[in-house]
Chains A and B, each alone.
Chain A
Amino acid sequence: QLQLQESGPGLVKPSETLSLTCTVSGGSISSSSYYWGWIRQPPGKGLEWIGSIYYSGSTYYNPSLKSRVTISVDTSKNQFSLKLSSVTAADTAVYYCARHDVLVGVSPDYWGQGTLVTVSS
């Protein structure tokens, strides 16, 4: 059974860089059938796609966040990571990692449980 688990600091200071890692178990990240993505959800609000990466390293970012986002993949560790720079309180959210399966319309079919990141001094 595929599992995804987010990890990283739960508290980040304003203007610093948020860094999260998603560890994939029960399956390989190096498959041509999947993209791997980050999605966030501010408290009490809706979902916002941050970006996705293919195992080859090709990346796709939300235009509204593109200047601050970097997503990378480490196939040797079966992990992919998110870096969001110059954070403000507006970046406080639950951050989810997810698998996007090409065979189901590039839809996110497996999700991590999410990790709350608070931006505060």
Chain B
Amino acid sequence: DIVMTQTPLSSPVTLGQPASISCRSSQSLVHSDGNTYLSWLQQRPGQPPRLLIYKISNRFSGVPDRFSGSGAGTDFTLKISRVEAEDVGVYYCMQATQLTTFGQGTKVEIK
């Protein structure tokens, strides 16, 4: 099984400041087809998760451009360039290269 490990687990941020979340996989997420199936999801309080980023760095439809994803192999990062109040919630990385597993989640809150 591929284990996904996120850091930090909690991230207090100031409005307008950047935030960064790391995600590391226990083995490479490069699929035999050449793609890397690493996604990021956001879960606001009381809501189902929402897809933000797919295949490392592709923003899903309607996602603001302050969200960006990067990385390769086993190390990935989600960045929010300027945190807004609506960004409060829990962020999960997810791999779909070998079945599907989620990271533990990172809680983003306003200082």
Contacts and interface: CB of A to CB of B under 8 A. Distances in A.
Chain A bound to chain B: yes
Interface of A: 37, 46-49, 52, 60-64, 96, 100, 104-109, 111-114
A65 B49 CA distance: 22
Interface stretch (B52-60, B70-78, B80-88): B52-60
Interface residues on B, range: 20 to 34
Contact of B55 (A100, A105, A111): A105
Contacts of A114: 48
Nearest to B43: A47
Given A49-B99, A61-B99, A63-B99, 11 more contacts: A37-B100, A46-B92, A47-B102, A52-B100, A62-B100, A104-B39, A104-B55, A107-B39, A108-B41, A108-B94, A114-B48
Contacts of A61: 99
B37 A106 contact: yes
